[in-house]
Structures are given as structure tokens and as C-alpha cells.
Amino acid sequence: MTNNRYGFTFKAAVIAASAVFALNLSVNAVATEPTLDSIHFLIPGGAGGGWDGTARGTGEALTKAGIVKTTSFENMSGGGGGKAIGYLIENAKSNAGTLMVNSTPIVIRSLTKVFPQNFRDLTMVAGTIGDYAAFIVNRNSPYTTFNELLEDFKKNPRKIAIGGGSVPGGMDHLVAAMAFEAAGEDPTQVKYIAYDAGGKAMAALLSGEIAVLSTGLSEAIALAEAGEIRILASTASERVPAVPDVQTLKEQGVNAEFVNWRGFFAAPNLPEAQRQQYIQALGAMYKTPEWEAVRARNGWVNIYNAGDDFTAFLEQQEKVIGDLMRKLGFL
């Protein structure tokens, strides 16, 4: 089995986040469940991606549980997520009722200067879930396992186009590089094709434009169940109940794990009282069967960091990922 010298760092960050989740949830459990009139969700990518699924799934749980009366959704692709971030900052006064979904890429893309802003320019509300990564192929692919893909990669890595819904050096690229490095290969040889959103990357896979897609596991489950794609491996530490037949990388001899957090940000200078309303609403959501149905359906992991704990978690991840990207030559 090949060791991934970076896997422990990611795993440690997830464990720390889970500990904060347990603490915050115990506090929220004794609070009265709040009710908000509305939340508008801003999604920095197109339909069908991980951000889209997270925002819509969260909105579904909040409304069905009666915590929020109405929710609305707006997809704003562009600039690797930077267009939506810039919009929220520039129009802060008129967007107090908006929550923007984001994830690990907001840290990665600010490090690589894809956009000039970073998470500190926004109001940090809460990290809510984790999603494992996955390597998938379309149903006509000759590959049935990650090891079969690895054998061809060893022969000629530049012949295998691996796509992702993020920029070069972004999260999907980083996960692919991490996996092949853990398998003993040169991560800089990964032929990565970038798309502006997860939905566009998935379309490229289905059309045969790319051979493999590095993506979030939750984005692949429905298409796998429909027989449109095949999941070669997940980056979970053990098999995920939502897809029990999918092997992990570790089962295939590649000692790499990764969990991508997702969470919500508000416009800068949001009043603290309003931030607390959002935090309480999301915390209350965790206790509902409506949320559990959404979470289980998508194979997500509950990781809850609220308010200042969310800020501290992001600052730690910025350091961890920055160090990793420098080691892999992406910075």
C-alpha cells in the first residue's frame, strides 16, 4: 500500500471540524427553533454542481422543516466562483437576505489569485457539510476500477484527460494530483482539463470529451444510479452507505483520503444579530428528519462550524492547503 504523506493533514482538519460540530449542536439543541421569512441562496456555479446541490438541499430541508418560510436560488457562474463573490461584496447593502454557498475552493482560489477576494472579505456564517471526492467515468469507459486507470496512467499519463469543475490548481485538480502522488506517480503529469462548473464538467464526461472526472461524490450518485456513469473510487476512509458498492482509494491500495467542506457566507458588514439568526436556523436544521433525508440521499458528512469557529477553521485550512499546494508545485 502506498502512503500519502498529505492525507493525515486533511483528515486532521476534518476531525477538528467534527469536534466543533458536536459542541455547537449540543448548544443549539436546547434553543428554540427559529423561523425566518426567507433566504435567498446565491450559487457561484451552474446547475448540477456540488454548490448547487448543497444550496438546494439545504433550502429543501429548511422549508420542509418549517424553519424558513420560503427559499429562492440564483446561479451565478464565472471566474471560478469569483463573479458571485464580487457581486455579494459590491452589492452588500441590498443582499442582507442572501447566503452564498461555497467550499474549499474559496481558500484554494484566493491562494492561487484566481480572484482577488478571500473569505475574510465576507461574513462567515457556518460550515455545514462535508462531501467526499470521487473519480468517475462514463458508462462506455473501459475502466471499472481506479487501479485500471492507474495502469494506463503509468504507461502514458498525458493520454488520459482528467476533468474537473475548477481551475487548474483548484480543488478537483488538487484531489487528482493527491491521488496519483499517493499511488507513487508524478502529480505534475496529470493532464487536467478545467471547466467553470461541475455541471459543465459532467457534460464533458458524458459526451466523451474527457476520460475521467474528479468531482464530489454527491454529484455522481444520481447518475450512477441511473447507469449513466461509473464511480471508480471515493476518497472516503470507508465505504459510504449511499453507494455501498463503491470502493475507496484505500481499498485499492492508494492511501489517500479527502473531504471537501461546504458552507455559507453572507455579505460583508452583516449585523451580528442577523448572522446569529442564520447560525441558529442552520443549527436547528441539523436536528430535523428533513435534513437527515437530504444528507443521507447525497452521502454527505455532517460537519458544522458556526461563526467564529468557522473563521478559525478556514484560517487553519488556508495554512494546511497552502503548504500542500507548495509541496505539489501549484504555488
Residue 143's pLDDT is 96
One domain, residues 40 and 108: yes
71 and 90 within one domain: yes
Does 19 share its domain with 125?
yes
**148 and 108 in a common domain:** no
For 62, list phi and psi in degrees, rounded to 5.
Answer: -65, -40
Both 10 and 115 in a single domain? yes
If asked whether residues 126 and 235 sit together in one domain, one would say no
pLDDT (0 to 100) of residue 34: 53
Per-residue pLDDT of the chain (331 residues), as tens digits, is: 444 433 434 454 444 444 444 434 433 443 445 579 999 999 998 888 889 999 999 999 999 999 999 999 999 998 878 999 999 999 999 999 999 999 988 998 888 887 888 899 999 999 999 889 999 999 999 999 999 999 999 999 999 999 998 778 888 998 999 899 999 999 889 999 998 777 888 999 999 999 999 998 988 888 999 999 999 999 998 998 889 999 999 999 998 888 889 999 999 999 999 999 999 999 999 999 999 999 988 888 888 899 999 999 899 888 878 887 887 777 7
- CATH number for 219: 3.40.190.10
Considering the domain architecture, whether residues 206 and 268 belong to the same structural domain is answered as: no
- Asked if 63 and 93 sit in the same domain, the reply is yes
Same domain membership, residue 301 and residue 225: no
| 118 grid coordinates | 478571500
Q: Which CATH number do you get for residue 298? A: 3.40.190.150
Question: Do 58 and 122 reside in the same domain of the chain?
Answer: yes
Domain end residue (candidates: 207, 234, 255): 255
On whether both 100 and 124 belong to a single domain, the answer is yes
The pLDDT of residue 48 is 81
> Left (φ > 0), alpha (ψ -120 to 50) or beta: where does 208 sit?
left
243 and 319 housed in the same domain: no
Q: How many domains does the chain have?
A: 2
- Of 255, 272, 289, which marks where a domain is finished? 255
To the question of pTM greater than 0.85 for the whole model, the response is no
Q: Look up the domain containing 213 and give its range.
A: 132-255
Picking from 239, 255, 271, the residue at the C-terminal end of a domain is 255
User: Which pLDDT score is estimated for 329?
Assistant: 79
